[in-house]
Chains A and B, each alone.
Chain A
């Protein structure tokens, strides 16, 4: 290896994680551009790539326009980012505790269903309804998160397996529940819930601009930002946050220091579950107003990528959630305006995460130690 390459390598080593993240996003955009060009059949046949390159420009411009180009776009981005932020915090916190929570989807469903119930069964004023519904979401998620937590603490069952399985259980339980008289909307035969009461609906974020029908952004984003703040406080200032992190990084040392491993495992999953449940509740109370089988979508899984990209830090998770939200709303615009399918967004997200993971992979293969690059991800393999 030439010396200049070597020194470049060691300089790259010292780059902060932030720069690596930024490079990952830029690299992903480059890969995305290549894909756009390569999927242009016309250009491939004629060998004239000029138009294909302008297609790239148009697609990315539409991406920007659709995510931050107008107040409406921004409003969409905010709504998309909100569940990513909250579920991202849930998964980041689990990572920091040494747990890999794949069950955010199931926990969102549990929380969302509980919030829906409070939303239509009670008819109080908003000041009471909304907090109650949110608490129901927290509790629902916590209970559902407690299952893998207890299983792991008691029997050692790995949370990756149990949370994946619990996702299926949640998905079919919600299907069943939505078919019961309690939940099902009276005039429907398909599994769909009653509407929540108006008082239970989260207020519009841009309500102060008058009655704009095109601005759907709800105030869930404020709760999401509170979550980020709370997560920061928990990690940096709280006693339990210190325990969670010590346990996450070195369970043996935590036990040596007198912390109770089983209790921390359970608590970690319960808290992560509660936060994911909150994300589910906010989707119901802010975005949909009712529950359906697939209201949680793939958010619980996408949030894993959000937490990884944000290296499980509060700010990192927030910004990567906003990026993912922006890509999603921009993607729709891109699909509408150009020939590029919204699937490109999925590819972009995947490539970003891959580039984030790749330097670490390379480092571990080459046994290069670098304190700067840290995914914040400390869960252990299935065998442990």
Chain B
């Protein structure tokens, strides 16, 4: 089967999301679709999957034009999609999830679960997915859940399988396993579209790479012809520095000291268990770990948004275990939260208002009961300039900014004052390559000015590139401390998965 997207154009009010995009993919090959956030990848795939109707252009299957009114049409034509966020029912078994909507039935429409289980088993064996048909989804790790999604797609006879950012939730070893699955799909004659913003992975697995920028295909290349720098340049439209350039750290005195920190959730389950670590001035400590191993809660506890059950947190000698977020802020702690839309910004307010969100109450911006918006405006103008936030007016709503620029607003707000400690959680999640480069350089600059920096990220590459020391979190515990210069990503990946690299006795 050959799938052609021909001159697809799709616009939304004020945005040309796809501008005459043409792509093709055939059975037995992997096409990587790579582009920054907002480049139009998702729109294009929604067009392909029947969620949007294109303004013009057509979709052809084996040369014949087709129109998809809904995703059901797309599925019927042999197109399958594995979404970034899984569409699974947690309390259902693997088999139940897979057959949901296409249940095999027996007499009088009764469910034929034996047959369903058989179907799942067959597909699982054929592609070496190693799935237990009776396991409950909620008990499965994310990597396995993804395989369930893949089986769902295969059971519906997909010939072209689209993966939307499939590796975002996986550990390094799971990513390797995922690549094996992709290979077996290709060997079985499936065509694969692999949507990603990770250059390395595209270069590793793809036969061809199509680069999308501002709604257009700006080029197509192959892993043989291009390297990371070249693809990054195509994505961003200018040369990009991919490696974080930094000198070795000159750590000073201890700024953040965490001793035996234990945090329970509302149900009394332990989320963080006896964590002890320190961050010194002038160094970046990174916390690596697969999403959901307590990093989010650790950051919330350190920044005052969640109560510690026991243990002590000190900032420069002051006990701040029970201090409010505002007090911590005033003591010189900055917090770049993991979810900028949910926590970091009020997107319905202006850029200027967001730039003072954590310090509107200082005498610089307000007196008594009233705000001094003129002063806010002036400071905002300066911050937008200094931190390279791309906007025409600081009085525009924050919602008008791209993800990268929204993140720069937060970075500007949090780092543009005298700090003792900066806590940054997922500082570059969903941010374009150009902004990543910038945000990383700002974080290193902060370190070099003597601030203690704590980075939490599920992107292992990011943690390793920025950090001077790496702590690995697994199931609420800090299971390892490693030197990123002497430890391989694979070894850290093993710690992240709860095991130890061979030859290590810890």
Bound pair (A, B)? yes
The answer to whether B370 touches A253 (Cβ under 8 A) is no
Q: Which residues of B contact A250 (CB under 8 A)?
A: 342-343, 345-348
The answer to whether B353 touches A253 (Cβ under 8 A) is no
The answer to whether B369 touches A242 (Cβ under 8 A) is no
Kindly identify, within residues 66 to 81 of chain B, every residue whose CB is under 8 Å from any CB belonging to chain A: none
Q: Which residues of B contact A253 (CB under 8 A)?
A: 342-346, 357
The answer to whether A371 touches B397 (Cβ under 8 A) is yes
The answer to whether B326 touches A258 (Cβ under 8 A) is yes
A239 at the interface (CB under 8 A from B): yes
Selected interface stretch from B84-92, B358-366, B490-498: B358-366
* Proximity string of chain B (330-347) to chain A, C-beta cutoff 8 Å, 1 when within and 0 when not: 000001010000111111
B305 at the interface (CB under 8 A from A): yes
A252 at the interface (CB under 8 A from B): yes
* Proximity string of chain A (1-22) to chain B, C-beta cutoff 8 Å, 1 when within and 0 when not: 0000010001001100000000
B140 at the interface (CB under 8 A from A): no
Instruction: Give bound CA distance, A145 to B263, whole Å.
Output: 36
Q: Which residues of B contact A252 (CB under 8 A)?
A: 342-343
Q: Which residues of A contact B326 (CB under 8 A)?
A: 258
A240 at the interface (CB under 8 A from B): yes
Nearest residue in A to B304 (C-beta to C-beta)?
A258
The answer to whether B346 touches A246 (Cβ under 8 A) is yes
Nearest residue in A to B368 (C-beta to C-beta)?
A239
The answer to whether B369 touches A246 (Cβ under 8 A) is no
- Provided the pairs A238-B371, A371-B397, A371-B399 are in contact, do residues A257 and B358 lie with their beta carbons within 8 angstroms? yes
Instruction: Give bound CA distance, A257 to B325, whole Å.
Output: 7
The answer to whether B370 touches A255 (Cβ under 8 A) is no
Q: Give how many B residues have a beta carbon under 8 Å from the other chain's beta carbons.
A: 34
The answer to whether A246 touches B349 (Cβ under 8 A) is yes
* Proximity string of chain B (385-414) to chain A, C-beta cutoff 8 Å, 1 when within and 0 when not: 000000000000101100000000000000
The answer to whether B348 touches A249 (Cβ under 8 A) is yes
- Contact partner of A256 (CB less than 8 A), chosen from B344, B348, B366, is B344
**Min CB distance, A98 to chain B, in Å?**
11
A212 at the interface (CB under 8 A from B): no
The answer to whether A371 touches B357 (Cβ under 8 A) is no
User: Residue among B346, B360, B371, B399 with the most chain A CB within 10 A?
Assistant: B346
Q: Which residues of A contact B371 (CB under 8 A)?
A: 237-239, 242
Q: Which residues of A contact B55 (CB under 8 A)?
A: 6
Nearest residue in B to A255 (C-beta to C-beta)?
B305
The answer to whether A257 touches B13 (Cβ under 8 A) is no
* Proximity string of chain A (111-126) to chain B, C-beta cutoff 8 Å, 1 when within and 0 when not: 0000000000000000
- Contact partner of A258 (CB less than 8 A), chosen from B347, B358, B366, B399, is B358
Q: Which residues of B contact A368 (CB under 8 A)?
A: 12-13
Q: Which residues of A contact B346 (CB under 8 A)?
A: 245-246, 249-250, 253-254
A370 at the interface (CB under 8 A from B): yes
Q: Which residues of B contact A378 (CB under 8 A)?
A: 348
Kindly identify, within residues 3 to 55 of chain A, every residue whose CB is under 8 Å from any CB belonging to chain B: 6, 10, 13-14
- Provided the pairs A250-B347, A258-B324 are in contact, do residues A239 and B337 lie with their beta carbons within 8 angstroms? no
**Min CB distance, B407 to chain A, in Å?**
14
- Provided the pairs A238-B370, A253-B344 are in contact, do residues A245 and B325 lie with their beta carbons within 8 angstroms? no
The answer to whether B400 touches A258 (Cβ under 8 A) is no
Instruction: Give bound CA distance, A253 to B356, whole Å.
Output: 12
Instruction: Give bound CA distance, A82 to B499, whole Å.
Output: 71
The answer to whether A246 touches B13 (Cβ under 8 A) is no
Kindly identify, within residues 255 to 311 of chain A, every residue whose CB is under 8 Å from any CB belonging to chain B: 255-258, 260
**Min CB distance, A255 to chain B, in Å?**
7
Nearest residue in B to A6 (C-beta to C-beta)?
B55
The answer to whether B353 touches A242 (Cβ under 8 A) is yes
Q: Which residues of B contact A374 (CB under 8 A)?
A: 348
* Proximity string of chain B (128-148) to chain A, C-beta cutoff 8 Å, 1 when within and 0 when not: 000000000000000000000
The answer to whether B343 touches A256 (Cβ under 8 A) is yes
**Min CB distance, A4 to chain B, in Å?**
13
Q: Which residues of A contact B353 (CB under 8 A)?
A: 242, 246
The answer to whether B370 touches A239 (Cβ under 8 A) is yes
Kindly identify, within residues 1 to 48 of chain B, every residue whose CB is under 8 Å from any CB belonging to chain A: 12-14
B216 at the interface (CB under 8 A from A): no
The answer to whether A237 touches B370 (Cβ under 8 A) is yes
- Provided the pairs A13-B13, A258-B326 are in contact, do residues A239 and B360 lie with their beta carbons within 8 angstroms? yes
The answer to whether B13 touches A370 (Cβ under 8 A) is yes
Q: Which residues of B contact A238 (CB under 8 A)?
A: 369-371
Instruction: Give bound CA distance, A6 to B54, whole Å.
Output: 12
B447 at the interface (CB under 8 A from A): no
Nearest residue in A to B342 (C-beta to C-beta)?
A252
Q: Which residues of A contact B303 (CB under 8 A)?
A: 256
Instruction: Give bound CA distance, A371 to B337, whole Å.
Output: 25
Instruction: Give bound CA distance, A212 to B337, whole Å.
Output: 65
Instruction: Give bound CA distance, A253 to B361, whole Å.
Output: 15
User: Residue among A6, A258, A378 with the most chain B CB within 10 A?
Assistant: A258
The answer to whether B325 touches A10 (Cβ under 8 A) is no
B329 at the interface (CB under 8 A from A): yes
The answer to whether A239 touches B369 (Cβ under 8 A) is yes
The answer to whether B349 touches A256 (Cβ under 8 A) is no
**Min CB distance, A121 to chain B, in Å?**
33
Nearest residue in B to A237 (C-beta to C-beta)?
B370
The answer to whether A371 touches B349 (Cβ under 8 A) is no
- Contact partner of B13 (CB less than 8 A), chosen from A14, A249, A255, is A14
Kindly identify, within residues 184 to 224 of chain A, every residue whose CB is under 8 Å from any CB belonging to chain B: none
**Min CB distance, B267 to chain A, in Å?**
17
Instruction: Give bound CA distance, A245 to B357, whole Å.
Output: 11
Q: Which residues of A contact B347 (CB under 8 A)?
A: 249-250
Instruction: Give bound CA distance, A14 to B13, whole Å.
Output: 8
- Contact partner of B366 (CB less than 8 A), chosen from A236, A239, A245, is A239
**Min CB distance, B342 to chain A, in Å?**
5
Nearest residue in A to B326 (C-beta to C-beta)?
A258
**Min CB distance, A377 to chain B, in Å?**
12
Instruction: Give bound CA distance, A240 to B368, whole Å.
Output: 10
Instruction: Give bound CA distance, A246 to B346, whole Å.
Output: 6
Instruction: Give bound CA distance, A256 to B305, whole Å.
Output: 7
**Min CB distance, A183 to chain B, in Å?**
37
Q: Which residues of A contact B366 (CB under 8 A)?
A: 239
The answer to whether B369 touches A240 (Cβ under 8 A) is yes
Kindly identify, within residues 358 to 384 of chain A, every residue whose CB is under 8 Å from any CB belonging to chain B: 368-371, 374, 378
Q: Which residues of B contact A256 (CB under 8 A)?
A: 303, 305, 325, 335, 337, 343-344, 358
User: Residue among A242, A252, A255, A260 with the most chain B CB within 10 A?
Assistant: A242
The answer to whether B357 touches A257 (Cβ under 8 A) is yes
Q: Which residues of A contact B399 (CB under 8 A)?
A: 371
Q: Which residues of B contact A260 (CB under 8 A)?
A: 324
Q: 11 A-B contacts, Cβ less than 8 Å apart?
A: A14-B14, A236-B373, A238-B370, A239-B370, A242-B353, A242-B371, A253-B343, A257-B357, A258-B329, A258-B361, A371-B400
Q: Which A residues have a C-beta under 8 Å from some C-beta of B?
A: 6, 10, 13-14, 236-240, 242, 245-246, 249-250, 252-258, 260, 368-371, 374, 378
**Complex A-B, nearest 7 residue pairs according to Cβ-Cβ distance, in ascending order:** A258-B326, A256-B343, A258-B325, A257-B357, A250-B346, A257-B358, A249-B348
Beyond A6-B55, A237-B373, 10 additional pairs, beta carbon < 8 A: A238-B369, A238-B370, A239-B370, A249-B348, A250-B343, A253-B342, A253-B343, A258-B326, A368-B12, A371-B399
